[in-house]
């Protein structure tokens, strides 16, 4: 009996060592790119093409100044913050409102509506881009942020996540109590339901912000001519159209660094809520 | 008796009065969905039946051509080649992704197998998912092009000659794209699988343990069979994501899908093809291709719906 236990304990220990080796390897695999990126953002083109040192260069400040003065990157950052921020607010507010409509009320088409939203949840936006651009053309909204911001009001995935959360966090008796106290339906939603949904809204706001920040295909079809409207993602893609031999590599790497930096910082500050909250709404089938 | 029915009547009246608000609150979602999703879907389908493209400075059409655009699309080898490229690069990313995610999920969720720093590891592996794919691809381009950091290291170590370039080789390019997809998505899959494993009734494991099952047996006999629906979910959602593959190969190869072998662009994906038809203003082909992609993703979505949500929708 005790012999069997020691064998099991030994097996467990070697399994554990194996697990740590794999985990550390994957950690390096995930992070090494950011290290290399930062490293190259500190070097000049000459340093980058003559040798490859694994130490920091001395051109960090210079590259940053070039990004600030020679490119529109900071304009792009501002544009992306405006678009992504607006999307985060609209997506979470209206998804909560839609979820509330399904959760708290009973009406004839409710089953159909819910089924419909779930069924279209996975259909990618790329497959209707042709008609979408037609629609923007028809409405006079090409080269304009409306086409990037307003559609985020209808976000099936966010809706589903918040609906899931609502089932566990919003008792209908509370709404009933608010009614008895004479609160109107819209006011009940704004002053009672929304605050209760805060944890779910926070997670989804971050996701909406990040996915809009990273969005590339749709904006590339809407904002083509007006340079001053370009988002960070579009500017990063534009870097690729330059010839590599004539690229200012330090500046290029600095630009990439600046483009991903805000998201990385936001994630690291809030990672506890994000990684924990992810599973919450995902699979509960 | 009369009194009772009266009460019911009052309640019903009140419920009806409130319930109209349910419909009112749905107005923003559905009006936006109608304008920016449903109408565009209809016009996309409508366009797929018309010949409409630009040749030089001249516009041809729009002329109604029936299903000619579809016939042309499928008789051209490009859709098959690009579909195959997309599938290959998806598989290169998906196979290691599911294997490693399963391994990690089983470690993270095993209560006996306490991993120190588990939340740190989870934070790190999820990070690449949030990185802008365009920037990630640009970063890989600067590392793996003919003068890139890693290319030079490989050359200096003597593993390749001085003209070697990852992005000039078919498999170098495809593996890089697949690898980036793996890196961006394995953390997400790990968390999904973990949620699935945590959802399994603990008493099953306890009973198995009492019966003398070891951790390996518990994994293969309890965890794996019960995870099947989630595997299918992960598989199909990842496939839908794979069909949308665009940012990474587009940036890495400057929209071209290089390298060119014979007459085939070997890393061009379906959405890159869609972009190409839009840019060259061949709207008939764009429409037909969009409809095909809509049909495929629509069918896959229905499978996911049947699998995960249909019960949920009935309950509502």
Residues B84, B28 share a domain: no
Residues B96, B23 share a domain: no
pLDDT at A223: 95
Q: Per the domain annotation, does A114 fall within a domain?
A: yes
Q: Region A199-204: what's the mean pLDDT?
A: 90
Is there a contact between B220 and B251 (Cβ–Cβ < 8 Å)?
A: no
Say if residue A23's pLDDT is above 90.
yes
Residues A214, A98 share a domain: yes
Say if residue B305's pLDDT is above 60.
yes
Percent of chain A with pLDDT over 90: 60
* H-run or E-run covering B179: helix B170-198
Lowest mean pLDDT among A171-185, B155-169, B278-292: B155-169
Q: Per the domain annotation, does A93 fall within a domain?
A: yes
Alpha carbon dihedral B296, B301, B302, B306, in 10-degree steps, equals 150
Give the max Cα distance, chain A: 79
Residues A176, A108 share a domain: yes
Helical spans, DSSP H, in A42-145 = 45-50, 60-70, 73-104, 110-120, 129-139
pLDDT at B170: 95
Closest CA to B104 of B197, B172, B222, B184: B197
Residues B19, B148 share a domain: no
Say if residue B239's pLDDT is above 70.
yes
Domain span at residue A98? 72-241
Say if residue A234's pLDDT is above 70.
yes
For residues B47 and B61, what is the distance between their CA atoms, to the nearest angstrom? 11
Residues A234, A95 share a domain: yes
pLDDT class of A6 with cuts at 50, 70, 90: confident
Residues B136, B9 share a domain: no
Residues B155, B22 share a domain: no
Q: Per the domain annotation, does B269 fall within a domain?
A: yes
Residues A144, A14 share a domain: no
Q: Per the domain annotation, does B52 fall within a domain?
A: no
Other residues' Cβ atoms within 10 Å of the Cβ of residue A1: 4
Task: From chain B, pick out residues whose CB is under 8 angstroms from the CB of A253.
Answer: 139, 142
Domain span at residue B11? 2-38
Q: Per the domain annotation, does A269 fall within a domain?
A: no
For residues A213 and B126, what is the distance between their CA atoms, to the nearest angstrom? 17
Percent of chain B with pLDDT over 70: 93
Lowest mean pLDDT among A6-10, A43-47, B192-196: A6-10
| Domain of residue A110, CATH code | 1.10.3720.10
Residues A140, A30 share a domain: no
Residues B85, B185 share a domain: yes
pLDDT at A79: 97
The token duo for A175 is 């709404």
Residues A126, A12 share a domain: no
pLDDT at A241: 83
Q: Per the domain annotation, does A285 fall within a domain?
A: no
Residues A181, A102 share a domain: yes
In angstroms, the separation between the Cα of residue B10 and the nearest Cα of chain A is 15
**Among the partner residues A16, A49, A267, nearest to B130 by beta-carbon distance:** A267
pLDDT at A52: 63
pLDDT at B9: 43
Q: Per the domain annotation, does B50 fall within a domain?
A: no
> Helix B78-109 to helix B270-279 angle, to the nearest 10 degrees?
140
Residues B306, B157 share a domain: yes
Residues A153, A32 share a domain: no
Report the chain B residue with the minimal C-alpha distance to residue A255.
B135
CB contact under 8 A, B254 and A120: no
pLDDT at A4: 63
Is there a contact between B148 and B139 (Cβ–Cβ < 8 Å)?
A: no
- Secondary structure class of B281 (helix, strand, coil): coil
Phi-psi domain of B169 (left: phi exceeds 0; alpha: psi -120 through 50; beta: other):
beta
A17 touches chain B (CB under 8 A): no
CB contact under 8 A, A236 and B294: no
Residues A205, A111 share a domain: yes
Residues B161, B34 share a domain: no
Residues A105, A28 share a domain: no
Residues B130, B27 share a domain: no
pLDDT at B16: 52
Residues A233, A194 share a domain: yes
Q: Region A47-53: what's the mean pLDDT?
A: 69
Percent of chain B with pLDDT over 90: 63
pLDDT at B261: 92
3-state helix, strand, coil in chain B (%, to 5): 75, 5, 20
The token duo for A229 is 């409207």
Residues B32, B170 share a domain: no
| Domain of residue B251, CATH code | 1.10.3720.10
Say if residue B202's pLDDT is above 90.
no
CB contact under 8 A, B36 and A16: no
- Secondary structure class of B295 (helix, strand, coil): helix
Residues 223-282 of A with CB under 8 A from B: 232-233, 236-237, 239-241, 244-245, 249, 252-253, 256, 259-260, 263-264, 267-268, 271-272, 274-275, 278-279, 282
Q: How many domains does chain A have?
A: 2
For residues A253 and A236, what is the distance between their CA atoms, to the nearest angstrom? 10
Lowest mean pLDDT among A45-54, B79-88, B235-244: A45-54
Best of A130, A145, A209 to substitute, by most chain B Cβ atoms within 10 angstroms, is A130
A56 touches chain B (CB under 8 A): no
Other residues' Cβ atoms within 10 Å of the Cβ of residue A28: 11
**Arithmetic mean of pLDDT over chain A:** 88
Residues B309, B206 share a domain: yes
Task: From chain A, pick out residues whose CB is under 8 angstroms from the CB of B188.
Answer: 278
Residues B117-151 have pLDDT tens digits of 888 999 999 999 999 999 999 999 988 988 888 88
Residues A77, A190 share a domain: yes
Residues B161, B292 share a domain: yes
* Top-confidence residue, B4 or B172: B172
Residues A239-269 have pLDDT tens digits of 988 777 777 888 899 999 999 999 999 999 8
* Top-confidence residue, B109 or B127: B127
pLDDT at B113: 78
Q: How many domains does chain B have?
A: 2
pLDDT at B3: 43
ipTM confidence: 0.90
Say if residue B90's pLDDT is above 90.
yes
Q: Per the domain annotation, does A277 fall within a domain?
A: no
Q: Region B65-72: what's the mean pLDDT?
A: 95
Q: Per the domain annotation, does B212 fall within a domain?
A: yes
Say if residue B1's pLDDT is above 50.
no
Q: Per the domain annotation, does A202 fall within a domain?
A: yes
Cβ contacts of residue B113 below 8 Å, gap of 6+?
Answer: A12, A15, A16, A19, B107, B215
Closest CA to B253 of B147, B155, B168, B152: B168
Q: Per the domain annotation, does A81 fall within a domain?
A: yes
């Amino acid at each position: 009996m005790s012999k069997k236990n020691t064998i099991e304990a030994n097996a467990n220990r070697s399994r554990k060592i194996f697990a740590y080796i794999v985990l550390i390897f994957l950690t390096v695999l995930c992070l090494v790119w950011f290290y290399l990126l930062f490293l190259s953002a500190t070097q000049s083109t000459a340093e980058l093409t003559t040798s490859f040192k694994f130490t920091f260069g001395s051109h960090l400040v210079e590259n940053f100044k070039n990004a600030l003065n020679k490119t529109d990157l900071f304009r792009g950052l501002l544009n992306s913050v405006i678009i992504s921020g607006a999307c985060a607010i609209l997506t979470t507010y209206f998804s909560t409102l839609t979820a509330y409509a399904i959760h708290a009320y009973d009406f004839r088409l409710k089953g159909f509506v819910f089924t419909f939203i779930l069924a279209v949840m996975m259909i990618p936006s790329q497959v209707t881009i042709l008609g979408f651009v037609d629609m923007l053309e028809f409405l006079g909204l090409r080269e304009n942020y409306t086409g990037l911001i307003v559609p985020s009001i209808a976000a099936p995935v966010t809706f589903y996540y918040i609906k899931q959360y609502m089932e566990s966090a919003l008792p209908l008796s509370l709404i009933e109590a608010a009614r008895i106290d004479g609160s109107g339906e819209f006011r009940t939603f704004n002053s009672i339901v929304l605050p209760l949904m805060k944890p779910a809204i926070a997670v989804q706001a971050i996701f909406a912000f990040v996915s809009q920040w990273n969005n590339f295909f749709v904006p590339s079809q809407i904002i083509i001519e007006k340079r001053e409207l370009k988002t960070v993602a579009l500017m990063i893609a534009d870097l690729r159209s330059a010839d590599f031999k004539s690229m200012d590599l330090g500046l290029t790497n600095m630009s990439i660094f600046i483009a991903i930096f805000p998201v990385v910082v936001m994630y690291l500050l809030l990672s506890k809520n994000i990684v924990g909250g992810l599973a919450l709404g995902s699979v509960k089938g | 008796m009369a009194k009772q029915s009266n009460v019911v009547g009052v309640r019903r009246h009140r419920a009806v009065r409130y319930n109209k608000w349910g419909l009112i609150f749905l107005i923003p979602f559905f009006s936006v969905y109608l304008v920016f999703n449903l109408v565009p879907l209809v016009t996309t389908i409508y366009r797929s039946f018309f010949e409409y493209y630009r040749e030089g400075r001249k516009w041809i059409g729009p002329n109604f051509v029936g299903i000619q655009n579809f016939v042309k699309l499928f008789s051209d080898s490009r859709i098959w080649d690009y579909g195959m490229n997309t599938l290959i690069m998806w598989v290169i990313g998906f196979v290691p992704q599911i294997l490693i995610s399963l391994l990690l999920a089983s470690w993270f969720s095993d209560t006996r197998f306490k991993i120190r720093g588990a939340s740190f590891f989870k934070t790190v592996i999820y990070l690449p998912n949030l990185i802008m794919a365009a920037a990630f691809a640009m970063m890989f381009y600067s590392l793996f092009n003919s003068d890139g950091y890693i290319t030079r290291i490989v050359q200096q170590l003597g593993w390749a000659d001085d003209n070697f370039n990852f992005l000039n080789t078919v498999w170098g390019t495809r593996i890089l794209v697949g690898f980036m997809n793996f890196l961006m998505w394995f953390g997400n899959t790990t968390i999904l699988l973990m949620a699935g494993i945590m959802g399994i009734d603990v008493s099953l494991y306890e009973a198995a343990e009492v019966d003398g099952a070891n951790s390996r047996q518990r994994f293969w006999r309890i965890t794996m069979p019960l995870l099947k629906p989630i595997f299918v979910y992960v598989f199909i959602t990842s496939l839908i994501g794979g069909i949308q593959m665009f940012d990474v190969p587009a940036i890495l190869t400057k929209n071209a899908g290089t390298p060119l072998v014979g007459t085939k662009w070997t890393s061009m994906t379906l959405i890159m093809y869609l972009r190409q038809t839009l840019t060259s203003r061949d709207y008939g082909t764009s429409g037909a291709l969009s409809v095909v992609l809509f049909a495929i993703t629509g069918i896959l979505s229905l499978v996911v719906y049947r699998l995960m949500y249909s019960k949920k929708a009935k309950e509502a």
